[in-house]
Chains A and B, each alone.
Chain A
Amino acid sequence: MKAKRIAAVATKETREVLRDPITLGVALMMPLVLLLLFGYAITLDVDDIALGVLDEDHSPASRQLQQAFTASDAFRLTARLRHYHEVESTLQGGEARLVLVIPAGFQRRLARGEASPVQLLVDGSYSATATLVSQRALAVTRGFGRDSPASLLSLDTRVWFNPSLSSVHTVVPALYAVILMAFPPLLTALALVREKETGTIQQIYASPLSAAEFLCGKLVPYGAIACVQMAMVIIAGLLWFGVPFHGSPGVLLAVSLLYVLCTLGIGLLVSAVTRTQLVAMLAVLIITLMPSFLFSGMLFPIFTMPYLLQLYTLLFPGRYFVDIARGVVLKGVGVEILWPSIAVVAVYTLLILALAAWRLKKKVA
C-alpha cells in the first residue's frame, strides 16, 4: 500500500464526482427526500380518530364521559347516533373508527357505585391501528373511572426514552441506518462498474496499482459524501422532526464513519463481481435496501420475529446500527453499553473490505 497511489486514485475520483453535478446532487438530495418521506409516512401514532357516540343515557355523567374523549387530541367526534342499528353502517362507511355506546342507566349505576359498563366498537379492518385505538380509548375510560369512587386500583404507566411515544422519534434514528445503507453502496458500486463498462479498468489492471490501493482511493470521496449525507439527516432529524439527541454526537459520528465504510465496502464487493451498471444497481438494492427496511428493526421489532428470522437479521449490519443509533440518540448511552454492536460492525467492515479486495482480481477474465 503506497499512500501516493491511493491519493492519486482519490484525487481522480473526487474530480470525477465534483464534475458530475447531477450525480452529486442526487446523492445529497435523496437521503433528505427519503428522510422526509419516511419521517412523515411511517407514523404509527394515532391522532384525531373519528369517533361516533350513541348516548342512550342523556345524563350529565354520559356527557362528561364524551367530553373526556373529545378533550384529548386523540379523538374527534364525527357522528352522533340515535339508534343501535346505525352503528354498523357508521363503521362500515368509515364515518367513525370507533363507536362509544353509553347505555341507559349509566349515571344511575355510577351514582350507586356499581360497575357501569360502556361499549366500545372498534373498526378492526386494520389491526395495528385498531389495537392502538382501543388502547387509547381504554386509557380514557380508565382515567374517567379513576375520579369516581368505584376505582380502587390505579395503574400509573410512565414511558421512558420516548415519553410522548412518538414514532417519529423511533423511526428517524433507524432511518440513519437505512439511508446510509441505501445510498453510499450504490455510489461505489456504480463508480467501479462504470470503469469496467468503459474499459478504463484495464488501465488500472495493467498498472502497478494494487486492488487494495485502488479500492481505498475509491472509498475516500464516497466516504466523504456519505458523511455529508449522515450529517444532513441528523441535523434534519433534530431540527425538522424535533428528535431529541440525548447521547454524544461524537460517538454517533465515529460509529457512523465505521458503518459507512462497511456499506461502501458492500458496494465495492458487489461491483467486484458484476460487470454491468444495471446488474450492480439491482444487486445493491436487493442486498442493502430491502433487508435494511425489513430486518433492521426499523419498522418491525426484531424480538417479535420468529426465531429463525431473528437469526437471519444478524447478517445485516443495518440491524446493529439501528440499535446503536437508537441507543445514542434516544437512550443517551455510549460505548460502554453499545460496544458489542460496535464490535460486530467493525468486524463486518473489515471482512467486507478484505473480501472486496480479494475478489477484485487484476485480471480481465
Chain B
Amino acid sequence: MTTVIRADGVGRRFAGRRVLADIDLEVRDGEIFGLLGPDGAGKTTLMQLLAAILDPSEGQLTVFGFDTRHGAEEVNARVGYMTQAFSLYDRLSVIENLQFAARIRDVAASDFRLRSEELLTMAGLENARHRRAGQLSGGMRKKLSLCAALIHAPALLLLDELSLGVDPLSRRDLWRLLRRHRDEGNTVVISTPYMDEAEHCDRLGFLHDGQLVALDTPARLRRRVTGHIYQLATSHLDETEALVRSWPGISSLQRLANRLRIQLAPDQDVPVDALARLDGLGHLVAVEPTLEEAFIALSPLSAPAVLPPPMPPAFAATGVEVRAERLGVHFGDVMAVHEVSLRVPPGEVIGWLGPNGAGKTTLIRVLCGLQKPSVGRAWVGELSVTEQVGQLRRRLGYMSQHFSLYPDLSVAENLRFFAGIYGLAGRQRRLAIDWASHMTHLTGLEEQRVDALSAAVRQRLALACSILHGPAVLFLDEPTSGIDPLSRQHFWHLILTLAGQGMTVFVTTHYLEEANYCHRLGLMHQGRLIALDTPDQLRVTLGLPHDAGMEAVFMAGIEREQRRAS
C-alpha cells in the first residue's frame, strides 16, 4: 500500500474568504474515497486542488509524491478528472470526444482502440458511438464523461459529483466502471452530496464549512451512533411528535410518512417513563443507524426548530383531490406519457420516481396546465387542467432545484416580488409573507441578500416563495439535492406539516432517500405509471424484505417492468 494523496494543513482562500482550511488527509492506492458534504462545503475546491488546477493558499499537498504547486505536469499526467459541469464537446461524436481525451494524453492508437471499445461496452454506449455528445441524455453524457476520464487508465481518478442528475439505472453503470477501475489497483476520489452513494465508498471524509470533520469507513461511522437511533411507527404523528419533543437530548427528529425516527445525543437514553406514555400511540424500537444519522451526530448544527405556525385562515388551503384519467402525451411517435390514471387525495405527499426520460416532468407539466395532453383528462379539484388554466395556476405552487430566486435582491424583496406575482397586496400580502417566512424559519434573515445565503436557506426561501399564495397543490422538483442532512430533515418536516394542513404535494426526485418521506410512490418507466403504492406495500408486491432501501425498490420495479416487456 502506497500513499497516493497526502495533505498537510491544506487550505484555500478566494479573495480573503476561507473556502477550505486545515485539511489533513491521506489516501492510499486501491481505495474509493468519498468526499461527502452539502453544497458550498468545499468539495469542488478540494477536487481542483487534487487535480493540480488550483494552488493551495496554505499547507502542502502532494499527489503521487509530487507537490501540486510545482509538479503540476507530473500530477496531470497521472490523474483523470471529471468535473461537475459536463466536460464534453457537444459538436463532437461520442468516439471523437474519447479520441480527443486520449490524444492529448498521449494514449497510443492501439491502446485507444482496445480501451475505448471496452469502456463504451461497459457503459452501455457501444451503439451511440457516432452520435453527437450534445444529443445524449444526461445519464449518457455522465457515462461518456467518465469514459473520457478513464481513457488513459489514470492511477488516480477524481470525480466531482458523479451522480448529479443521474437516474439510479445509469448510476449503477457508473459504479460498475468505478469498482472495476479500483480493482485494477487504481485510486478513486469521488465527491457527492448523496448519502446512499457514500455508502459505496471504502472510506469517507465529511466536509463541513471547508473543514474535514470526520474521516472513516462508512461502517465505523455508523457504529459511532449505534444504539442511539429509534424508530416509532405510529398513525398519530402530531401527538407522538409533541410527546417525543419533550424528551431531553434529542439531536434530530425525522418525521417520515408514517413514522418518526429519533436520534438521541451520545450521552442520552430514552426517558424511563417514555414507553408507558407512548403506549397506544406507537411502537418504539432501536434501529440500525444510517450514514445520514452518523453525520448529523458530527455536524455542529442545532436540533430542529419548534413546530411551524398554522396557516392563517385567509388562505388555509382547502385540500383538493388531483385526478387523471387515461392521460397521454405524444410527441410525434414518442409517447412521453401513456395511459396514466391516478387519484391523489388532499394532504398526500406523493413521490415520482423513474429514470431520466420516463415522463415524470411531462406528467407534472400536464397537471400544472403547462402541457396540453394528447388524450385523456385531468382535474385539480374541480378545475380541469385543459379548460381552466388561469384559475388553476393560482391554486398551484411550484419549486425546483433551480428555483428562480433573484440573487441580488434581499430575502424580503424576493418574497414581496413573488407575492406580487400572485396578486397579493396590502394586508393580505403582509400576512402571507409573515406566515411563509415563519413557516420556513426565515425570520431575522429578511435583509440578507440571496447570493450570501447558504444552499439550505436558499432552498427554504424558494419554498416560502412558492407557498405564499396558499396553493392547494405543491410541486417539488428535486427539492433537497445538495443540502446538508439536518437541513433536509427540517425541510421535509415543513413539507409534511404543510401536507398535514391539507396541501397535496408532488415530488420528483433522483435522490431516492427523499422517497422515504412520501406517503405513496409513483414509479414511472417509458411513459407508463408502472406502480403507485405506499413504500411498504411496494416492498411486499415486489417481494423485497421490509427494510429494503429505496434504491432496491426502484431497481426491482424497473426490472419487473423490463421482464414484463420482454
* Contact stretch, chosen from A74-82, A204-212, A265-273, A287-295: A204-212
Q: Does B406 contact A (CB under 8 A)?
A: no
Nearest CB of chain A from residue B87's CB, rounded to whole Å: 5
Residues on A with C-beta less than 8 A from B105 are: 207-209
A323-365, CB < 8 A from B: 362-365
Nearest CB of chain A from residue B210's CB, rounded to whole Å: 15
Flag if B89 contacts A5 (CB, 8 Å). no
Q: Does A20 contact B (CB under 8 A)?
A: yes
Interface residues of A (CB under 8 A from B): 2, 4-5, 7-9, 11-12, 15-16, 19-20, 198-200, 202-210, 362-365
Bound Cα distance A363, B53 (Å): 4
Please report the number of residue pairs spanning A and B whose Cβ atoms sit closer than 8 angstroms: 84
Nearest CB of chain B from residue A328's CB, rounded to whole Å: 38
Residues on B with C-beta less than 8 A from A365 are: 14, 54
The answer to whether A19 and B91 touch (CB under 8 A), given A12-B96, A362-B72, A364-B48, is yes
Flag if A8 contacts B100 (CB, 8 Å). yes
Bound Cα distance A12, B103 (Å): 10
Of A200, A207, A208, the residue contacting B89 (CB under 8 A) is A200
Q: Does B92 contact A (CB under 8 A)?
A: yes
Q: Does B52 contact A (CB under 8 A)?
A: yes
The answer to whether A207 and B76 touch (CB under 8 A), given A202-B53, A202-B83, is yes
Of A9, A15, A205, the residue contacting B96 (CB under 8 A) is A15
Q: Does B421 contact A (CB under 8 A)?
A: no
Flag if A208 contacts B106 (CB, 8 Å). yes
Bound Cα distance A198, B91 (Å): 13
The answer to whether A362 and B106 touch (CB under 8 A), given A199-B86, A199-B87, A203-B83, is no
Nearest CB of chain B from residue A204's CB, rounded to whole Å: 7
Flag if A5 contacts B55 (CB, 8 Å). no
Flag if B106 contacts A203 (CB, 8 Å). no
Flag if B81 contacts A203 (CB, 8 Å). yes
B56-93, CB < 8 A from A: 72-73, 76-77, 79, 81, 83-89, 91-92
| Apart from A12-B96, A205-B76, 16 more pairs, CB < 8 Å | A2-B106, A4-B106, A16-B92, A19-B91, A199-B84, A199-B87, A202-B81, A203-B87, A205-B51, A206-B52, A207-B76, A208-B105, A208-B106, A362-B53, A363-B54, A364-B48
Bound Cα distance A362, B48 (Å): 11
Q: With CB as the reference atom, state the residue of chain A lying closest to B53.
A: A205
**Number of B residues with CB within 8 Å of any CB on chain A:** 32
Q: Does B144 contact A (CB under 8 A)?
A: no
Bound Cα distance A131, B352 (Å): 81
Q: With CB as the reference atom, state the residue of chain B lying closest to A365.
A: B54
Bound Cα distance A198, B79 (Å): 21
Q: Does B101 contact A (CB under 8 A)?
A: yes
Q: Does B104 contact A (CB under 8 A)?
A: yes
Bound Cα distance A15, B96 (Å): 9
4 nearest A-B pairs in the assembled complex, by CB-CB distance: A8-B103, A199-B85, A206-B81, A205-B53
Flag if A206 contacts B53 (CB, 8 Å). yes
What are 28 inter-chain pairs, A to B, with CB distance below 8 A? A5-B104, A8-B99, A9-B100, A9-B104, A12-B92, A15-B92, A16-B89, A198-B86, A202-B48, A202-B53, A202-B81, A202-B83, A202-B85, A202-B87, A205-B51, A205-B53, A206-B52, A206-B76, A206-B81, A207-B104, A208-B76, A208-B104, A208-B105, A362-B72, A363-B55, A364-B53, A364-B54, A365-B14
Residues on A with C-beta less than 8 A from B106 are: 2, 4-5, 208
Bound Cα distance A202, B92 (Å): 17
Bound Cα distance A363, B56 (Å): 11
Nearest CB of chain A from residue B67's CB, rounded to whole Å: 14
Flag if B83 contacts A15 (CB, 8 Å). no
Q: With CB as the reference atom, state the residue of chain B lying closest to A20.
A: B91
Nearest CB of chain B from residue A228's CB, rounded to whole Å: 20
0 or 1 for each of B494-508: is its CB under 8 Å from A? (1 = yes): 000000000000000
Flag if A5 contacts B103 (CB, 8 Å). yes
The answer to whether A208 and B88 touch (CB under 8 A), given A4-B106, A203-B101, A362-B53, is no
Of B51, B53, B77, the residue contacting A208 (CB under 8 A) is B77
Flag if B101 contacts A198 (CB, 8 Å). no
Bound Cα distance A365, B88 (Å): 21
Residues on B with C-beta less than 8 A from A9 are: 100, 104
Nearest CB of chain A from residue B92's CB, rounded to whole Å: 6
Nearest CB of chain B from residue A273's CB, rounded to whole Å: 17
